[in-house]
Amino acid sequence: MFLGGVNPVFCVFLHHKVFSIGSKFIQSIMYLRYLYVLIAGLLLFISSCSVHKTTTTPTTPDSKLKREFRGAWIQTVFQPEYARMSSAEMKKDFIKKLDYLQSCGINAIVFQVRPEADAFYHSKIEPYSRFFTGRQGHAPDNNFDAMAFLIEECHKRNMEFHAWLNPYRVSTSGSAALAQNHVYHKYPEWFVTYNKMILFDPGLPQSRSHICKVVRDIVSRYDVDAIHMDDYFYPYPVAGMPFPDDKSFNRYGAAKGYKQSQRNDWRRNNVNQLVSEIKRTILLTKPWVRFGISPFGIYRNKKSTPDGSGSNTNGLQNYDNLYADVTKWVKEGWIDYNIPQIYWEIGHTAADYITLTKWWNKNANGGHLYIGQDVARTMKANELTRKMKYARQMPNVSGNCFWPANEILWNNGGITNALKKDFHRYPALIPAYTHLHSVPPKEVSKLKTTWTEAGYKLTWEAEQSKSNPEKASYFVVYKFRKGEPIDISNPAHIVTTTRALEYLLPYNKGKEKYTYVVTAVDRFHNESIKGKRRTVKL
């Protein structure tokens, strides 16, 4: 049986490192052509990629940025709208949202497909989500697969689809609404209750195994671009309410030598193991699929760090309160991108936006760093311009993700207008993930113009393969007036990015001469070097 449905005649050039028993990456591995010849035992030790310094975005604080992650989160938890829709209505709603977000320059959709250990897709592991169909476990009409539909529609628009999973959360209000086929009923000993929530116990290897099983299932069956998780690891603490993990600590923590005073270290190690195992799971299934996390905006407060390395802030901390050692994940290459949720205003007394953006930029550690932006708070404070310009000035920040997408759809405070007219005026390519693969794809061939019933078309050919991410995945079409220098580094010349092998030209009776350049881009967002040119009269 072949891993993840990958064609056995091809295996992607990984550029990853061997995963040792100590969870450290120790050496690069060579080009693997045939996954099926690898012994299963050896595969258990393959893991995440090495981290190299990526090319940073220009520091120019304007809209002329050719490479920029421009994401938007679409949440489903506590969103009753989908459960009230038929499949036909949901499709119409999704199309409307994607069209609108695309018009605002969004190039990546982060959609919540697993809000409560359930599914917005066909799964034999977990039941359908109550937020999808109204009752957990109840099938949608016409056997509708929301994730499959969204992936197809995103890719039609050349937008990425990131499958957003909440790892540990099972229920926010007890077990009454859980479907009979939910794993909770089969293995209740895997779960704990905290502040009325049911959660997988992070201290159990069975919990990690189940979550990785879900990830493997999604990555192997769906053409997702990334697996995404947010800030919910260990739950947000409640004063005077200790987390109930005595049993798992005594069995798995104390047994490994952790003392009671080291329980927090043990908890951090539990999350570290989950993150590293998810990355390994993805690599062994489809190595080109990325893994990203959007942690809470504060890693550690300066006063909590003996060496003063934390940020000059005063709030909840990833490291100390949620047991999420985010900077370690980046350093180890366990995550491919990091989107800290810097949701506060500029000048906020406890967590200043500029202070935190500067801190994360300093501690990017060579990884892809994007900024999580809270639209409502930003627009209310009239700070969009200042925040966007400041983030773009940071050499290690290469994009933004907006929370939530609905605020853009509602044009809260005029954000849609600002994105269209200024910050996303020109299309942008997602920054290349060169730590996964850095060789550009081959140029397109047979670029020509053709008269068709639909109009005057620019057409081309390219090497493509669903199982080979090094081949062309999409194309960038540039347009230059007569006499303009051919400069494909300037996004002002991009007229479209497309997964099609054609582009309908705006013909105007042959009055003016233009040169079009078409480049190929692979699944890692590496772009071919020069592109092919075609000069036409339009």
Same domain, 385 and 506: no
What ranges make up the beta strands (E) of 180-333? 191-194, 197-200, 226-229, 290-293
Flag whether 512 is in a domain: yes
Distance CA 326, CA 246 (A): 25
Same domain, 516 and 415: no
Same domain, 334 and 457: no
Distance CA 518, CA 515 (A): 10
DSSP of 48-68, one letter per residue?
EE---PPPPPP---SS--SB-
Same domain, 365 and 306: yes
Please tell me the predicted confidence (pLDDT) of residue 64: 57
Indicate the pairing of strand 16-19 with strand 290-293: unpaired
Please tell me the predicted confidence (pLDDT) of residue 173: 82
Same domain, 162 and 296: yes
Same domain, 126 and 254: yes
pLDDT tens for each residue of 245-298: 999 999 999 999 999 999 999 999 999 999 999 999 999 999 999 999 999 999
pLDDT tens for each residue of 95-121: 999 999 999 999 999 999 999 999 999
We report the CATH number of the domain holding residue 456 as: 2.60.40.10
Distance CA 281, CA 292 (A): 14
Flag whether 209 is in a domain: yes
Which of 391, 423, 455 finishes a domain? 423
Tokens of 171: 């229920």
CB-based contacts of 99: which residues, under 8 Å, 6+ apart? Answer: 157
The pTM assigned to this predicted structure is: 0.89
Same domain, 336 and 402: yes
Flag whether 436 is in a domain: no
Please tell me the predicted confidence (pLDDT) of residue 517: 98
Specify which residues 513 forms β-bridges with: 537
Same domain, 449 and 416: no
CB-based contacts of 175: which residues, under 8 Å, 6+ apart? Answer: 184, 198
Flag whether 474 is in a domain: yes
Same domain, 457 and 394: no
Omega of the bond prior to 404 within 30 degrees of 0, cis? yes
Same domain, 416 and 470: no
Flag whether 13 is in a domain: no
State how many domains the chain has.
Answer: 2
Flag whether 429 is in a domain: no
Same domain, 317 and 464: no
Residue ranges making up the domain that contains 264: 69-423
Distance CA 135, CA 88 (A): 19
Flag whether 88 is in a domain: yes
Alpha helices, DSSP H only, in 76-189?
87-103, 130-133, 146-156, 183-186
Same domain, 347 and 492: no
Residues in the chain where the model's pLDDT stays below 50: 1-63
We report the CATH number of the domain holding residue 368 as: 3.20.20.80
